[in-house]
Structure 1
């Protein structure tokens, strides 16, 4: 057997395994987003087109799979924050990311609630990552003079948008949350001196 076939053969299982893992995460994300944490592992494997043994090799527990899917969504949001900060003006980047957060809630609010119910520590870690990303996006417009220091915390913004998302079962909340982004930006962008800043 030629010597150069050995490494190639060794690489193929890893590539196949990574493809299967991604299929499972994609299938699980769709299922968890629609149904929360009660989706069966069998359903995820069937949707991904892999055997149940393959699923359990990658994700031994449903909670572990649930957390991994949610971590992927949070990582994507944090990456978007970096990209926006590098390609848009500071105030535009902040607004664009808050709108992405609204979209994230629309797609993943059921998933996030399921993670909180089954693995609260992971949800807390995810929130900390989001706050770190948002802190930078809030600091940038202040640093360049595009926005005065609004005297609010990043968590205040996330809570405001999450509150709109959960205040009513109406499907219209996404539009309301997107309008809230503009209200928040307008309020923070006010050039008037706050009574507390004197």
Structure 2
């Protein structure tokens, strides 16, 4: 991808990039990845040239939004662990992850094209998400509130299934119930 590492940007360029990513995330969630790049630039308060300097292609922007969302969801683990008991932290992360999947689904076709030529980045991203979830599961195992035979990738896959079935905004109540069912399945029982 054309984008440089974020640590190499001037402060004003970083602000503009962050604004573009936030506007693109909103636009993709609302309208899918085919949304107008001019509208994204306008919403971000930057010129279209600024958008294209940072993201020369739509795929570059889609990939950057995806990576930004992965960074965001992984970064929440520390705060959730500090603020909540393990099961509550896990539940909050799972619900946030479903929101992430809804954004991903809205830009699925463009993301598929962006990832088609870079399997390593797709696998690295999946591993980061699995590691974040594994941290939350391990805290529950240590507390005795989560089974010790659960693979994080299996839980990610189950969340993906929930997202496919009830991933629309008007289905949030049912998605929450399904997350609670999944949490119950992760709890230790006398026969396990």
TM range (shorter): 0.7 to 0.9
Does the CA-based 8 Å contact 1:78-1:130 persist in structure 2? yes
How far off its partner does 1:110 sit? 1.2
- Note the aligned Cα RMSD (angstroms): 2.4
- Structure showing greater radius of gyration is 1
Partner of 1:135: 134
What are the superposed Cα offsets for residues 58-110 of structure 1, whole Å, 9 maximum, x if unpaired? Answer: 11221111111111111111111121122222222212211221232344431
Tell me the TM-score normalized by structure 1: 0.78
Q: Quote the Cα distance in structure 2 between the aligned partners of 1:128 and 1:168.
A: 24
Query: Residue 158 of structure 2: SS of its match in structure 1?
Result: helix
How far off its partner does 1:176 sit? 2.0
Structure 1 residues 47 and 161 mapped into 2: Cα distance closer, same or farther (>3 Å)?
same
Instruction: Specify every segment of 5 or more residues in structure 2 that has no aligned partner in the other structure, as ranges.
Output: 1-8
Partner of 2:60: 64
Instruction: Specify every segment of 5 or more residues in structure 1 that has no aligned partner in the other structure, as ranges.
Output: 1-12
Tell me the TM-score normalized by structure 2: 0.81
How far off its partner does 1:168 sit? 5.8
Partner of 2:3: none
What are the superposed Cα offsets for residues 104-143 of structure 1, whole Å, 9 maximum, x if unpaired? Answer: 2344431355323432434433222110100111111112
Structure 1 residues 117 and 174 mapped into 2: Cα distance closer, same or farther (>3 Å)?
farther
Does the CA-based 8 Å contact 1:106-1:174 persist in structure 2? no
Match of 1:32 among 15, 28, 33: 28
Q: Residues 141-152 of structure 1 correspond to what in structure 2 (within 5 A)?
A: 141-149=140-148, 151-152=149-150
Structure 1 residues 145 and 190 mapped into 2: Cα distance closer, same or farther (>3 Å)?
closer
